Structure 1
């Protein structure tokens, strides 16, 4: 077993000592022993761009600069390289989780420039485009100001000029500007641009082109382009999201990514895919990878918030039933607020470990020319179109609940939850708006039968039921039979080694299942599945019981999936549980704590003016009162103004 260090003793030991399992074994079970994330954590701390104090106040330019340095550092970390995470098929989701919890903006910036851009070139281009793979700062231009999910309605055009053997890119108006392009605002030199292919006044649909954007020597845009930055956002400001408009911008014919469709020098269209709908779907196939990745991102950000909130709940004490205060994690209402989301995070973790490996294997098989992958590709598209919205919505609610569950302290920037909430928000929109994606999955379910995506689970149960039946050496010495014995052995060792862990995971699955089911109770009645109050009562009581059963294990369940403190970066969620010590340090050390504002003299001048005004008013009121004494109404109207009489009447009241 790999060496995983113990936590520093502290207030959380109360719950850690009550856990019914070893959190280290669970951590290794979820990650696999050889893929433990500790080696990545140790490596990251050697790179100075990742040791930045993220709580310090920074200008937008500072944030962008740090993100750029981190992006460059990412490229030089061998443990995070494509060869380590994909070619060796180590847990591909592990790198995503770690980096998104540490530095989400630069991680997305790196993914767009070095993975999405490169994957699009490889998947849709041919040998003539390989020169763009290395040492290029790329971006991916699909969305337009006026069109997002409706990709068929894109207005950017690429019209072929037979005389010059060039494509001429045009944006009809600002609505056709490519927008929200990660990396384009300030840094990208090249872009994958989707445009309607026009040949001899005929539209052949959306096609992808590799387009030079900036001169690498000066970083200035080329003539014919209007390139700009989208400006500050509510999160992920390290990413320079930009826009581009094309005004008769010319690119060579060979810049068309031509694996799915090509144009000859004399302007004829040739394609191996005759069906325009299939060609359109294939052109956007790279987006499935983005959705798979975002599902992992949602899980990672939710776990970060849950780690903070649950550890805080194990330390924060309030309102004891008699005299002594107790941790708020002991309260049923608090358990109900947090523990179902912890169960949801575990369900996502297990799903992502499985699905990302399936996807990356599919990607490798596609690149090496394996046949018969179309059905699997269709199913991956359908699953990614539903798991991304589900993960995004559930973890959005989890993060918000964590913020509120930490009370006022959760509103501090130093708690870390606010940044997680803001950075997570984009997951609900990019790579496909959630509601539109759900419709795509629904369409797939209506058209074809599923391909039994969870066979790996049911097969494990069947394997454990099998017995040794060979009676001769000949029966034994059959490759398939020997392999079946190894399958049984593997399943049995997993079952016996992690039996207690599996029990805890089953509890978390049941809790997530019932908790999710509670939201659909009206449909159970509407469809006639149930009548009367029994179902509602049982479901709700079941949720509360499971929350109570998992309460003592909540801290250790979080420990097994939590990032280390230098990534968590939270005064409320540190592994030592010293909440108030860290709060005091954060409050006392912030730059505003003991300092008067730079504009303090303005306050004094205002107060002086205000005091003089108040003094004058007071003197005038006293004068009015003294002079009013023993005066008739007629005399008052002669001596004083209407306002002064009103002041006197207010005084009498």
Structure 2
């Protein structure tokens, strides 16, 4: 395949020659030629501009230098066709590829672009009307810079009780935007700290009669377009240095009786008449609230894709390093060349190869939900939603509320494990792993802290259980809960697997997950009903049902979704060796998580005796050993380009020590006398 260049020869060839499949064919199967060419064009564009060179500024950047560089890159990318919103909106899978490349390259710049396009522009397009589209066009064309102001200092996930007010004044036909105190200030608003000129601001809409009509979105100019000075009545402060992502200027915005025209209200779903009468276009307040927050679901789904890319990136570094780094060997080993690569050790395989399985499984699911959700948004924008759009939205909401924290937590663990598995060298900035760890850390919190939003998934599942008991047919558009129709039959099942080979069958792993979810859902529902019977409120009954119950249910559910989608995805693979390797990756993903649910499997009686647990663990180790010789080629098939990887430990040539030496000997100030040398030397005569 001409679009994929041959990989350089080097130390990694030892493992590449052991592989049973061609990495180019694997990449072609995973992404398809069209997507591969699109990603290559993006990378070639990044390589062609010195501004985009990650090593263009050697040494450490100051806080403001990092900000400046990220913003210059953001503006420059906005003027390039490959990164224009129209390029990937025309083919929904392009958005996932776009994020995969950008976040592998420069997370701060990528997040800036996401705020500008996916959050600000998307809010205008999905909640505004024709009179607002000029703002979206101006944002897409780099004529203004928009941000998204939802979270407040005192409220994040509980959006209904946010306190920024927008009061309509019928005498002047304006809305008065006001922050009653600092707790009502909009905070963590990306791009607002130093650069944004406009904001999509969520505020409680009050009519002149003093009635609050709930949270609505307003398109508000916050800075002068030419001077970037905040407008009168708008108070903006940068939030200062963060643990990572410092190329993004997160800010705090307060409004002091700031007046905006009536047209600032994004009025697709509701309006206010000139006389101050509230005019909802959706009669059901719940539907109105949900529609005004539709743009938020894209954020959670995007993070699923972003974290998937981070998993692939860190695993590439960890496994390539493990294939080159040698340590110890046979007892009579006396020569360095007889030492074994650390990838040969079981414990090291167990540390890394399950995360390699996650890289593949998460990639498939993230590409799917990103493209499907963009398709749904475009259909809504065009006024042509599918007949099952409502049910589709509910199910994808449940999936995204669990997939975002699940993949964010996996990325956190994978990056840290790879950092530690690379030893001291992994702690170097040049490894790329420490910056990745710090930048990825934000994904655990923004767009909904994981432990909070995952409760929406378990709450949705709880609503389904009465239907299961009544034997009503459950038929979700994505099929993620259809197995609940067989709940009674599943409860009658017991684990009758007596060999490792039986645990390696994907159908058995999937069935075990389905039994587990039914068991956890039944436990959750019964405990919830007991809480209610004891006089607890609905809120308390659900809240006191999360640890060991609700969270575990949501995790098992989303893990099954990922596994089922991957299993379906690999079925058309015609290469028997590739299909076998992919099947093993899927099974390893499933068993890795079932091992963590083993207590529930025993509690519900599915596992009996200690034999099943031992077999499950042996199956995991067996898969790690089977995939060990395939691991380097597997990462070759999903690895970011070396330019994006930017790691001395993980480049495709495997020349770890040569690159490490070059980094150390050429680093700024690494081989020169420090400027303050005379302040630290001993001044007195010494006989030493």
Q: Is TM > 0.5 for Structure 1 vs Structure 2?
A: yes
Change beyond 3 A, Cα 1:573–1:450: farther
Of 417, 436, 441 in structure 1, the residue corresponding to residue 457 of structure 2 is 441
Q: Which residue of 1 aligns with 2:156?
A: 148
SS of corresponding position for 2:168: strand
- The answer to whether residue 622 in structure 2 is matched with residue 571 in structure 1 is no
For residues 297 and 90 of structure 1, what CA distance do their matches in structure 2 show? 14
Of 395, 398, 408 in structure 1, the residue corresponding to residue 424 of structure 2 is 408
Q: Which residue of 1 aligns with 2:585?
A: 508
Q: Which residue of 2 aligns with 1:184?
A: 192
Q: Which residue of 2 aligns with 1:635?
A: none
Q: Which residue of 2 aligns with 1:557?
A: 634
SS of corresponding position for 1:497: coil
- The answer to whether residue 319 in structure 2 is matched with residue 310 in structure 1 is yes
Of 322, 344, 350 in structure 2, the residue corresponding to residue 336 of structure 1 is 350
SS of corresponding position for 2:177: strand
- The answer to whether residue 240 in structure 2 is matched with residue 231 in structure 1 is yes
Per-residue CA deviations over 1:480-516 (Å, capped at 9, x if unaligned) read xxxxxxxxxxx99984633322211110000010011
Change beyond 3 A, Cα 1:386–1:496: closer
Q: For residues 59-208 of structure 1, what are the structure 2 equivalents within 5 Å?
A: 59-133=62-136, 134=138, 135-199=143-207, 200-208=209-217
SS of corresponding position for 1:563: coil
For residues 118 and 371 of structure 2, what CA distance do their matches in structure 1 show? 16
Per-residue CA deviations over 1:294-322 (Å, capped at 9, x if unaligned) read 10100111111111110000000001023
Shift of 1:33: 1.1
Unaligned residue ranges in structure 2 (runs of 5+): 465-473, 484-567
Shift of 1:452: 4.9
Change beyond 3 A, Cα 1:537–1:122: same
Q: Which residue of 1 aligns with 2:554?
A: none
Shift of 1:152: 0.9
SS of corresponding position for 1:530: coil
Does the CA-based 8 Å contact 1:169-1:248 persist in structure 2? yes
Per-residue CA deviations over 1:566-609 (Å, capped at 9, x if unaligned) read 111100001100100001000111123112222211112xx336
SS of corresponding position for 1:395: helix
Unaligned residue ranges in structure 1 (runs of 5+): 459-490, 616-653
Q: Which residue of 2 aligns with 1:34?
A: 34
SS of corresponding position for 1:244: strand
- Larger C-alpha radius of gyration, 1 or 2? 1
SS of corresponding position for 2:683: helix
Shift of 1:40: 2.2
Q: Which moved more, 1:573-582 or 1:522-531?
A: 522-531
For residues 493 and 418 of structure 1, what CA distance do their matches in structure 2 show? 33
Of 570, 585, 595 in structure 2, the residue corresponding to residue 518 of structure 1 is 595
Count of matched residue positions in the alignment of Structure 1 and Structure 2? 580
Per-residue CA deviations over 1:391-414 (Å, capped at 9, x if unaligned) read 101111000000000000000000
Of 213, 222, 226 in structure 1, the residue corresponding to residue 222 of structure 2 is 213
Q: Which moved more, 1:161-170 or 1:46-55?
A: 46-55
For residues 388 and 176 of structure 1, what CA distance do their matches in structure 2 show? 27
SS of corresponding position for 2:48: coil
Of 42, 49, 52 in structure 2, the residue corresponding to residue 50 of structure 1 is 52
Shift of 1:48: 2.5
For residues 577 and 454 of structure 1, what CA distance do their matches in structure 2 show? 43
For residues 161 and 239 of structure 1, what CA distance do their matches in structure 2 show? 36
Per-residue CA deviations over 1:413-442 (Å, capped at 9, x if unaligned) read 000000110110111011111111111111
SS of corresponding position for 1:317: coil
For residues 608 and 92 of structure 1, what CA distance do their matches in structure 2 show? 62
For residues 615 and 245 of structure 2, what CA distance do their matches in structure 1 show? 43
For residues 594 and 619 of structure 2, what CA distance do their matches in structure 1 show? 11
Per-residue CA deviations over 1:362-384 (Å, capped at 9, x if unaligned) read 12211111243111112221111
For residues 662 and 603 of structure 2, what CA distance do their matches in structure 1 show? 55
Shift of 1:454: 4.8
Does the CA-based 8 Å contact 1:2-1:33 persist in structure 2? no
Does the CA-based 8 Å contact 1:55-1:413 persist in structure 2? no
Q: Which residue of 1 aligns with 2:683?
A: 608
Does the CA-based 8 Å contact 1:311-1:577 persist in structure 2? yes
Per-residue CA deviations over 1:542-574 (Å, capped at 9, x if unaligned) read 100000000000001000010111111100001
Does the CA-based 8 Å contact 2:187-2:252 persist in structure 1? yes
Q: Which moved more, 1:108-117 or 1:289-298?
A: 108-117
Q: Which residue of 2 aligns with 1:247?
A: 256
For residues 296 and 33 of structure 2, what CA distance do their matches in structure 1 show? 31
Q: Which residue of 2 aligns with 1:419?
A: 435
For residues 280 and 133 of structure 2, what CA distance do their matches in structure 1 show? 20
SS of corresponding position for 2:257: strand
Does the CA-based 8 Å contact 1:55-1:414 persist in structure 2? no
Shift of 1:450: 5.5
Does the CA-based 8 Å contact 1:303-1:561 persist in structure 2? yes
Shift of 1:3: 3.1
For residues 366 and 381 of structure 1, what CA distance do their matches in structure 2 show? 16
For residues 187 and 265 of structure 2, what CA distance do their matches in structure 1 show? 21
For residues 145 and 495 of structure 1, what CA distance do their matches in structure 2 show? 50
Per-residue CA deviations over 1:161-181 (Å, capped at 9, x if unaligned) read 111111111111111110000
Q: Which residue of 1 aligns with 2:559?
A: none
Change beyond 3 A, Cα 1:450–1:143: farther
Q: Which residue of 2 aligns with 1:469?
A: none
- The answer to whether residue 18 in structure 2 is matched with residue 18 in structure 1 is yes
Shift of 1:271: 0.8
- The answer to whether residue 294 in structure 2 is matched with residue 285 in structure 1 is yes
CA RMSD, Structure 1 to Structure 2 (Å): 2.2
For residues 3 and 177 of structure 2, what CA distance do their matches in structure 1 show? 57
Of 359, 362, 367 in structure 2, the residue corresponding to residue 345 of structure 1 is 359
For residues 212 and 537 of structure 1, what CA distance do their matches in structure 2 show? 62
For residues 570 and 479 of structure 2, what CA distance do their matches in structure 1 show? 21
Normalising by structure 2, what TM-score? 0.81
For residues 212 and 310 of structure 2, what CA distance do their matches in structure 1 show? 42
Q: Which residue of 2 aligns with 1:628?
A: none
Does the CA-based 8 Å contact 1:47-1:73 persist in structure 2? no
SS of corresponding position for 1:191: strand
For residues 30 and 179 of structure 2, what CA distance do their matches in structure 1 show? 49
Q: Which moved more, 1:300-309 or 1:86-95?
A: 86-95
Of 354, 360, 383 in structure 1, the residue corresponding to residue 368 of structure 2 is 354
Shift of 1:238: 0.5
Q: Which residue of 2 aligns with 1:475?
A: none
Q: Which moved more, 1:352-361 or 1:314-323?
A: 352-361
